[in-house]
């Protein structure tokens, strides 16, 4: 093999996918490759990033959280109802975080204490969160979000849109946590080497619960951006968001059964999903076809991962 | 010989008789409670309605039972029902032939099952993630294809599948009995059925003893897809209209019926008749909620709680058995 070929092989697939997508949309649509659209993509991808970062950790423990979209929705409803009732944004954010935290604890306990397989435990809590959203709102939107709260999504700080700042901070915190703290190394061990963790006297179940709690809490926090963006809360608003997050994690190269994760890959995966959605939007492709495209993307990513693990 | 020396199959079967009895008792208990709470429960029309709904849920869940027996999962069941129903609806509307519709529905379901089976065997990733990607791919395809349209009004001959009667009993109930017998015979009395249990109980041992594991796995996903396609036709014939979201809300109840019925998510133990009991219990609960005028928005919540409880009981039973 020539040096050039081996170099190309070492470039991660997600980076190639991102460059290809940008090139294709750039050629196909003159409005794509503009500075303001690039900024749009980053802003729109923030909510996804807030879900995909903890999802990466959860997948690394050989887990999954199918309830994130539904929990985000319920948290968004809690946030909107609180701010409409009390006028306090702080109290509203606290309500959203409490919903997220509560479901995170529930998911974590179901998985770590009762040993229910993660995909079925979080499928059950997905049903619970979705049902609660419908029950408390009676299927209606919650409107009347004050202007100050909308600024969280639409405003800027020092000339930089606030969602982009939130995304940068979140990525930095997760990066440092995963690669620089003891909790991070426990997460690597939870996926690949849980027995060793147990033998080393680490409370492996507590660590596993903590991973799901991080996921739920981030979903609660993402609800803040979602509500500010939509200027309302709707009981079906977040349905399927967990799929975009799982897609970003899969495309980013985190393996679903070998416990090795790559946070930078997830960031690139989020951008792949974001660029794909934005580019298809510009070309007026309906959202349903976008979902089919992302489904195909996930299966392609799994195929590549499967082929690689064999090679 | 101690209990642990018995093969996984024998231990499973002996336990399953008591398990099944427990489920029938639970269903009866729900019936007694409901008949006390509502005068409308113990009427012929309501009971036939319950059985008809049970039949629909059972058909969806029966193929899924085989998948879960292999320790797999098919999260694309609801999406599959949606696409199969929509394609069948368009086929019937444009040609007027019910039988072409049946062929399209079952064919579409089987094809999706085949794709799932090939993905699961080729990818070597957990089945839930492969079928989860497939679920969204199909949902997107269905919504794009339908473009918000509704197809409705089918010929009476086709509508018989879902709302017809024979000797005063709804036709779906006959289909439920037919597929209960076929499924049970296949699972308990054929070599392939026994191989499916063996794969779920211990895939490595199954492979080493010469069972063609990959081919049997493809088979169970095809059967699950075909049954979803068949169920989609009965659903279509009953509601007499097809929209892109027609199947979406059935994945959770179908999985619930299987796990309430005592089939273990960890593979190797469970029965088709158990899934029938599971479908009956879930349908009774939903029927009771309707009769007591509890809003339909409570249903996903209740189904979610029931799934979690059923899986938890299974895990506790397995632990105490070890």
Question: How many Cβ atoms sit within 10 Å of the Cβ of residue A107?
Answer: 30
Q: Are B301 and A126 inside 8 Å of each other by CB? A: no
The residue range of the domain holding B305 is 3-321
User: d(Cα B243, Cα B143) in Å, to the nearest integer?
Assistant: 9
**Nearest residue on chain B to A123, judged by CA atoms?**
B304
Q: CA nearest A218: which of A95, A43, A53, A90?
A: A53
User: d(Cα A55, Cα A248) in Å, to the nearest integer?
Assistant: 9
User: d(Cα B83, Cα B154) in Å, to the nearest integer?
Assistant: 17
CA A55 to chain centre: 6
Mean local confidence (pLDDT), B47-69: 94
**Nearest residue on chain B to A66, judged by CA atoms?**
B132
Of the pLDDT bands very low, low, confident and very high (cuts 50, 70, 90), residue A220 is very high
Determine the residue among B79, B123, B296, B317 to mutate to test chain A binding: the one whose Cβ has the most chain A Cβ atoms within 10 Å.
Answer: B123
Partner A contacted by B203 (CB < 8 A): no
Partner A contacted by B122 (CB < 8 A): yes
Q: Distance (Å) from the C-alpha of residue B63 to the closest C-alpha of chain A?
A: 18
Chain A residues whose beta carbon lies within 8 Å of the beta carbon of residue B298: 131, 135
Chain A residues whose beta carbon lies within 8 Å of the beta carbon of residue B259: 120
pLDDT given for residue B227 in this prediction: 96
Residue labelled with tokens 């700080």: A157
pLDDT given for residue B66 in this prediction: 96
Partner B contacted by A113 (CB < 8 A): no
Question: How many Cβ atoms sit within 10 Å of the Cβ of residue A254?
Answer: 28
**Nearest residue on chain A to B136, judged by CA atoms?**
A295
- Asked if the model's pLDDT at residue B13 lies above 60, the reply is no
Of the pLDDT bands very low, low, confident and very high (cuts 50, 70, 90), residue B19 is confident
Q: CA nearest B160: which of B236, B49, B244, B48?
A: B236
Chain B residues whose beta carbon lies within 8 Å of the beta carbon of residue A117: 265-266, 311
- Asked if the model's pLDDT at residue A306 lies above 80, the reply is no
The pTM of this model reads: 0.87
Chain A residues whose beta carbon lies within 8 Å of the beta carbon of residue B312: 114, 116
* Angle, in degrees to the nearest 10, between helices B98-123 and B156-163: 60
Of the pLDDT bands very low, low, confident and very high (cuts 50, 70, 90), residue B149 is confident
Structure tokens at A6: 């081996």
Q: Distance (Å) from the C-alpha of residue A250 to the closest C-alpha of chain B?
A: 10
Number of domains in chain B: 1
Q: Are A134 and B122 inside 8 Å of each other by CB? A: no
Of the pLDDT bands very low, low, confident and very high (cuts 50, 70, 90), residue B5 is very low
Model confidence pLDDT, tens digit, residues A136-152: 998 899 998 888 888 88
Q: Are A295 and B119 inside 8 Å of each other by CB? A: no
**Nearest residue on chain A to B250, judged by CA atoms?**
A127
What is the ipTM, given to two decimal places? 0.83
CA dihedral B128, B132, B134, B136 (to 10 degrees): 170
Structure tokens at B38: 């509502």
Domain containing residue B27: CATH number:
1.10.3470
Mean local confidence (pLDDT), A224-236: 91
Chain B from 162 to 201: CB within 8 A of any A CB:
none
Model confidence pLDDT, tens digit, residues B301-310: 888 898 899 8
Chain B from 127 to 146: CB within 8 A of any A CB:
128-130, 132-144
> In this complex, which of A127, A289, A299 lies closest to B252 when CB atoms are compared?
A127
> In this complex, which of B136, B142, B307 lies closest to A120 when CB atoms are compared?
B307
Locate all alpha helices (DSSP H) within A117-262, ordered by sequence.
118-137, 147-154, 162-180, 182-192, 194-199, 204-230, 241-251
Q: Which sign, positive or negative, has the C-alpha torsion B298, B300, B306, B308? A: negative
Q: Which sign, positive or negative, has the C-alpha torsion B135, B138, B142, B143? A: positive
**Nearest residue on chain B to A285, judged by CA atoms?**
B144
- Asked if the model's pLDDT at residue A1 lies above 60, the reply is no
Q: Distance (Å) from the C-alpha of residue A37 to the closest C-alpha of chain B?
A: 25
Mean predicted lDDT score pLDDT of chain A: 89
Determine the residue among A71, A115, A124 to mutate to test chain B binding: the one whose Cβ has the most chain B Cβ atoms within 10 Å.
Answer: A124
Mean local confidence (pLDDT), B142-165: 85
Residue B269's alpha-carbon distances to B19, B58, B210, in angstroms, are 11, 18, 21
> In this complex, which of B130, B299, B308 lies closest to A124 when CB atoms are compared?
B308
């Amino acid at each position: 093999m020539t040096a050039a070929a081996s170099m190309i092989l070492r470039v991660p697939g997600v980076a190639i996918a991102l460059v290809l997508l940008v090139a294709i949309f750039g050629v196909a649509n003159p409005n794509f490759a503009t500075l303001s659209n690039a900024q749009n993509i980053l802003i729109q991808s923030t909510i996804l990033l807030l879900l995909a970062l903890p999802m990466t950790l959860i997948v690394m423990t050989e887990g999954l959280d199918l309830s994130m979209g539904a929990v985000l929705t319920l948290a968004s409803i809690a946030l909107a109802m609180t701010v409409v009732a009390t006028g306090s944004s702080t109290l509203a954010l606290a309500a959203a975080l409490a919903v997220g935290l509560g479901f995170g604890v529930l998911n974590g306990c179901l998985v770590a204490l009762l040993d229910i397989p993660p995909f079925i435990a979080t499928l059950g809590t997905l049903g619970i969160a979705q049902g609660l959203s419908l029950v408390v709102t009676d299927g209606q939107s919650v409107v009347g979000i004050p202007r100050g709260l909308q600024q969280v999504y639409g405003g800027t700080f020092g000339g930089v849109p606030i969602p982009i700042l939130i995304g940068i901070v979140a990525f930095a915190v997760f990066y440092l946590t995963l690669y620089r703290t003891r909790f991070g190394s426990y997460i690597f061990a939870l996926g690949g080497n849980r027995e060793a963790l147990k033998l080393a006297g680490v409370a492996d179940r507590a660590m596993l619960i903590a991973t799901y709690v991080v996921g739920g809490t981030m979903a609660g926090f993402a609800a803040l951006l979602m509500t500010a963006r939509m200027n309302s809360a709707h009981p079906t608003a977040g349905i399927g968001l967990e799929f975009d997050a799982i897609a970003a994690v899969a495309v980013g190269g985190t393996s679903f059964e070998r416990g090795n994760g790559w946070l930078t890959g997830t960031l690139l995966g989020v951008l792949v999903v974001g660029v794909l959605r934005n580019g298809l939007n510009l070309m007026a492709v309906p959202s349903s076809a976008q979902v089919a495209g992302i489904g195909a993307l996930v299966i392609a990513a799994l195929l590549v991962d499967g082929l690689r693990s064999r090679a | 010989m101690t209990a642990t020396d018995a093969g996984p199959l024998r231990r499973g079967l002996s336990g399953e008789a008591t398990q099944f009895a427990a489920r029938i008792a639970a269903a009866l208990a729900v019936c007694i409670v409901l008949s006390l709470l509502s005068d409308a429960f113990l009427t012929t029309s309501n009971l036939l309605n319950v059985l008809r709904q049970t039949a629909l849920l059972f058909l969806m869940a029966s193929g899924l039972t085989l998948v879960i027996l292999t320790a797999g999962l098919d999260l694309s069941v609801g999406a599959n029902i949606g696409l199969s129903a929509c394609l069948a609806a368009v086929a019937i509307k444009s040609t007027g032939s019910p039988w072409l519709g049946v062929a399209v529905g079952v064919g579409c379901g089987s094809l999706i099952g085949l794709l799932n089976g090939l993905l699961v065997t080729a990818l070597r990733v957990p089945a839930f993630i492969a079928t989860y990607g497939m679920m969204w791919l199909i949902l997107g395809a269905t919504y794009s294809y339908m473009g918000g349209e509704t197809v409705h009004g089918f010929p009476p001959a086709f509508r018989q599948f879902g709302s017809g009667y024979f000797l005063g009993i709804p036709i779906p109930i006959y289909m439920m009995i037919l597929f209960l017998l076929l499924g049970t015979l296949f699972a308990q009395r054929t070599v392939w059925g026994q191989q499916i249990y063996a794969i779920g109980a211990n895939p490595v041992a199954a492979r080493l003893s010469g069972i063609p594991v990959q081919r049997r796995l493809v088979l169970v996903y095809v059967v699950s897809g075909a049954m979803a396609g068949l169920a989609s036709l009965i659903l279509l014939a009953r509601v007499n209209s097809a929209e892109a979201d027609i199947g979406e809300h059935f994945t959770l109840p179908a999985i619930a019926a299987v796990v309430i019925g005592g089939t273990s998510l960890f593979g190797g133990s469970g029965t088709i008749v158990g899934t029938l009991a599971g479908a009956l219990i879930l349908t009774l609960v939903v029927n009771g909620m309707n009769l007591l005028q509890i809003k339909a928005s409570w249903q996903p919540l209740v189904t979610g709680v029931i799934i979690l409880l059923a899986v938890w009981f299974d895990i506790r039973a397995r632990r105490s058995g070890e």
